[in-house]
Amino acid sequence: MSTAVEQDARPVVVRPPPHDLYRVLLLRKSGSELLVASKRPPFTLPCVEIPRWERVAENVIAAVRKRYGLSALCLFTPELSATTTGGDQPLYQVMETREAAIGAPDEMRWLPLDSISSQSLADEEDLVAITNMSRQTAEFQSGEAMGPFGRPGWIEELSSWVQRAIEPYGLRLSGEFRQLNASPTFALLRLETDGQALWFKAVGEPNLREFPISLTLSRLFHGFVPKVIATHPTWHGWLTTEFPGSRLDEVPDAHAWERAADTLAELQIASVGKTDQLLDAGSRDVRVPSLLAFVDPFMEVMSQLMEQQWKTPPPVVNKRELQTLGKQIKDALSSWAQLHIPDSLGHLDFNPGNILCSPDQCVFLDWAEAYVGPPFFTLQYLREHLTRLRHERSSSGADVVKAYYAKWRRFLSPETISTALDLAALVAVFAYAAGTAAWRNSTIPEGSRAAYLRSLTRRMHLEMQGLQQRRHICHD
């Protein structure tokens, strides 16, 4: 007893969250000048600290503004040479400021980029980063490398295009914007106007399908997705109006999850009969025949990945168990086909961050992982996130399911819905794992991707055992 009291009396050590230090390559005047963190040689680069595992662009921009008083945007992360690889290599971010007329912060100066040499820098790694930045920038500017958002000055080009696009709506840009994601081929910005705010998104490989999918959904399903008001095909970008809502996991209304499930069902029912258009736009095909064709090759890849696992726990699913799992998945898919539930639009990445809610409406975002197939899989993904969050402002899982199936009861019997719910626990995991192309590449996945696929396979194995137990109980 006394030991327990003494342990409870120990001071609680609160460790600060991990942070990353970024060296900033901040350009101005079309990339011709670079900000350095001293008045005379040897020069160093400005640096900022940001939370690890959060959006790099958004946090670096905020840190530069706070520490140096400069408004900037991110361009790209420079490539590092082989000599700078390793766990202790510096992190760099290439940025640009539009404030060309503003002087340098205290104890700093702007240097012509072509005047910088190894003799002028305190750290040789900074010269490598600057050299690579200059080469990459030239490749983006010439078109040798794909990357419209790696070029200095692209924000002015975007602003001009947006202003022309919104003039028919009587709107004008205010000049203020918020950049959330940044890379040479991806962009996500919130643009302020004298009225409603706008969002611009552009995508590159491997998410190019999100561009035609988003346009198709905006055309077919008004009110369920953000309204697209202009497109920039060269950049695979589109402009939408802002939805006045909050992310599902941030909404204080305890019934918001039920409203999201209800709206999802309405969208999916509306999509029945439009699946050919959705497939033509690039939605993934996870219809039952396609999933059946994936089972054997997927299990073969998982067998190889399980053999590569060098430590336990977690448990390895052996070859015999994988064969049994494959058979059970085929049986579950065949049982699903016999339910005659119509295929619809679905979302393989259906999570609270992709759902915006207002008091009377929900819209769904980020459709790179749109699919055509069994509708109830998407509900299963939503339930999974609800189970993980389990906060007091959320509806219960039963209430979310009830809200979803209330819409489908107009078309399906209670028995069909009950059977579908039972099968979905297993088959939805398989659709999620096998529906993407990562495991179908010419090389077997390694590292974190391989570990993730193994974890999904273990989850399928558990769901298979649960399905067998439920059927045994029903049979008894």
The domains of the chain are located at 19-146, 154-241, 246-475
What value does the mean pLDDT of the chain take? 90
Give whole-number Cα distances, 281 to 5, 219, 278, 345, in Å.
Answer: 63, 12, 5, 12
pLDDT of residue 5 exceeding 70, the answer is: no
pLDDT band at 6 (very low <50, low <70, confident <90, very high): very low
Q: Which CATH architecture has domain 19-146?
A: Alpha-Beta Complex (3.90)
User: What pLDDT does 179 receive?
Assistant: 97
Q: Which long-range contacts (CB under 8 A, 24 or more apart) does 315-320 make?
A: 315/458, 317/454, 317/457, 317/458, 317/461
Distance CA 274, CA 296 (A): 30
CATH number of 154-241: 3.30.200.20
pLDDT of residue 9 exceeding 70, the answer is: no
- Strand duo 19-28 + 47-51: pairing: antiparallel
State the pTM of this model: 0.89
Distance CA 378, CA 383 (A): 9
Higher pLDDT, 264 or 89: 264
Q: Which residues pair with 228 in a beta bridge?
A: 240
Q: Six-digit token pair at 14?
A: 């609160």
> Could you read off the pLDDT of 208-242 as tens digits, one per residue?
999 999 999 999 999 999 999 999 999 999 999 99
pLDDT of residue 120 exceeding 50, the answer is: yes
Which DSSP symbol is given to 250? G
What backbone phi and psi angles, to 5 degrees, belong to 415? Answer: -65, -40
Residues 6+ apart with CB under 8 A from 91: 20, 21, 22, 23
% of the chain beyond a pLDDT of 90: 77
User: What pLDDT does 39 receive?
Assistant: 85
How many other C-beta atoms can be found within 10 angstroms of the C-beta atom of residue 121? 20
Higher pLDDT, 253 or 363: 363
Q: Six-digit token pair at 323?
A: 């064969």
- Which residue shows structure tokens 């920039």? 232
> Could you read off the pLDDT of 372-419 as tens digits, one per residue?
999 999 999 999 999 888 655 556 788 999 999 999 999 999 999 999
Residue 98's SS3 state is coil
Distance CA 360, CA 273 (A): 27
CATH number of 246-475: 3.90.1200.10
Q: Six-digit token pair at 66?
A: 């706070």
Given a contact cutoff of 8 angstroms between Cβ atoms, the answer to whether 417 and 409 are in contact is yes
